[in-house]
Structure 1
């Protein structure tokens, strides 16, 4: 069972991990991530570097060169590109795929929703394929709401955990997403953005909430709004405690026009 956790160093990255690494202003992805790339040669993994500075592409003698992907020059989606590399890695005899993604605001110019969707795609890809994905962000380059959205869909982080938001949404099975932590007014906007992206790509979104510690009125309102985002979709909440179920009813959200099913 996949679980959220913090990593002391990049040496602890395992198969299926989707890791968020926040850089200091003066740091580069290469400086902080060189060990992650070098471990690819050590363990026989195919290394793919997306948008990172060249310093992280240095390799040990007699080892395969990393594949470099410039997101600005992709004709299709990043997900399609990494899936192709995963297929090639199996044929080429590599153990697994190891992806370093350095996301810079000046390179992408992307809308926050497309940024979030790309991270959800990579989260699903890592969980389903066993690939190791390390995403690096420099917080000074991003507005706080966008950074909140992308960090909350990384179940793993290296070093200190981002202070906000206080919840994580991550893939734990076919069609299942686990919600862990606290969803209050500080994280409601990010939670709503995640759900809108999920319902846009699935007829039924199943959220496993056994590890949800607290869910306030702002979070419930964000859930209801996201569920109504597309009228033909449904959100199923599993594992919600009795307090959450009661508050949902008392808040007036247990209505036919809100396509949410909450079960124990």
Structure 2
């Protein structure tokens, strides 16, 4: 079963990992990621680099994609390349994605949704996906980026209050605390998941608490689209009691809280 973990170097990236690499402004993304990309030839992986600024280092890649010029979504492109890689005899797909954030920019809903797509893709196919972020971003931005990656590189300050990542074919693990600081990001994540399937199963064995904002985000997201349902499994007694006492355990909120 996949589990959240911290990597010391990109040499530790394994099959099915979806890694967040936060870079300093002075870091060179090609230099920092060269070994990961170059190792594709050693292990028989098809290397795909995603990012408009990759010129150096592309000699190690089978394909370089500019996300602004894709015909369709990034997920669709990744699935096509995974199918091609299988037919071409590669072991797996090895993806390096570079995202540059502008000054004081926060990750958009589209960015969080694309990361969820890549998370599901990595978990379902066994591909190795490293998302390298550079540019100007503050601590809240870094936390939102990391909350949709189960794996991260290094000891960056201020880990996210919660994480969401794929666990098996039927569910998503949620860990930590969903509070006012992370409620908007959590709502975005949940709405994105509900847009893809009628029932979203959240495994909450490692969730400590939802505060009032977190519960409101959960309720609003569950009602965002018609005929959708959210099932929370493994919730602790505190979460179940808070949900009931806050008045959210009503028929018009399609959320099932289970032990």
Q: Which residue of 2 aligns with 1:155?
A: 150
SS at match of 2:241: helix
Rate the CA distance shift 1:176–1:22 in 2: closer, same or farther, 3 A. Answer: same
Aligned residues: 256
Q: Which of 152-161 and 232-241 deviates more?
A: 152-161
Distance 2:200 2:57 in 1: 37
Match 1:101 to one of 97, 100, 104: 97
Q: Which of 19-28 and 125-134 deviates more?
A: 19-28
| 2:71 matches 1:70 | no
Is the contact made by 1:6 and 1:161 (CA closer than 8 Å) also made in structure 2? no
Is the contact made by 1:149 and 1:194 (CA closer than 8 Å) also made in structure 2? no
Which string of whole-angstrom CA distances, capped at 9 and with x for unpartnered residues, describes residues 203-251 of structure 1? 0010000011232222111111111111311000000011110010001
Rate the CA distance shift 1:39–1:197 in 2: closer, same or farther, 3 A. Answer: same
Pairwise CA distance, 1:58: 3.8
Q: Which residue of 2 aligns with 1:62?
A: none
Structure 1: gaps (5+ residues) = 60-64
User: TM-score by structure 2 length?
Assistant: 0.92
Distance 1:197 1:122 in 2: 13
User: TM-score by structure 1 length?
Assistant: 0.91
Match 2:188 to one of 176, 193, 197: 193
Structure 2: gaps (5+ residues) = none
Q: CA RMSD in A?
A: 2.0
Distance 1:173 1:2 in 2: 8
Distance 2:28 2:254 in 1: 45
Is the contact made by 2:100 and 2:135 (CA closer than 8 Å) also made in structure 1? no
Pairwise CA distance, 1:53: 2.3
Q: Which residue of 1 aligns with 2:12?
A: 12
Is the contact made by 1:21 and 1:157 (CA closer than 8 Å) also made in structure 2? yes
Rate the CA distance shift 1:111–1:22 in 2: closer, same or farther, 3 A. Answer: closer
Rate the CA distance shift 1:134–1:111 in 2: closer, same or farther, 3 A. Answer: closer
